[in-house]
Amino acid sequence: KQEVTQIPAALSVPEGENLVLNCSFTDSAIYNLQWFRQDPGKGLTSLLLIQSSQREQTSGRLNASLDKSSGRSTLYIAASQPGDSATYLCAVRWTGGFKTIFGAGTRLFVKA
């Protein structure tokens, strides 16, 4: 069964700290992996998309890596800010289909 798991479920850090969010998935035959941010009661904002042939993607203070063989992706956030407080979700699409499955997310709180 294709599943996506995110740890930790919640994380609280002081402002300025670098942090890593983890996403793991079963079945390494993925098509792509996408990281999203969601504020409470709001929509999903795409942060980074990694194709199966890529190892990492960067956007500003965000860096996402992908290791298909181990079934893992990490989202690195540098110099965290209170405005980064949100839920971060990873979503995986596997080859051979359109279905894209989300992990349960990591709720991040950055303290000023």
Q: 36 or 110: whose CB is closer to other proteins?
A: 36
Here the tokens at position 73 are 């992706």
Q: 17 or 23: whose CB is closer to other proteins?
A: 23
At 17, give phi and psi (nearest 5°): -80, 145
- Max distance between CA atoms of the chain, in angstroms, equals 45
Q: 76 or 102: whose CB is closer to other proteins?
A: 102
Window 19-78: residues binding other proteins (CB under 8 A): 31-32, 34, 36, 41-46, 49, 51
Of 14-22, 63-71, 74-82, 101-109, which segment contacts other proteins by CB under 8 A?
A: 101-109
Q: How far apart are CA 40 and CA 57, in angstroms?
A: 26
The three-point CA angle 93-99-103 to 5° equals 60
The H or E element containing residue 4 is strand 4-7
Minimum Å distance from CB 15 to other proteins? Answer: 26
Minimum Å distance from CB 99 to other proteins? Answer: 5
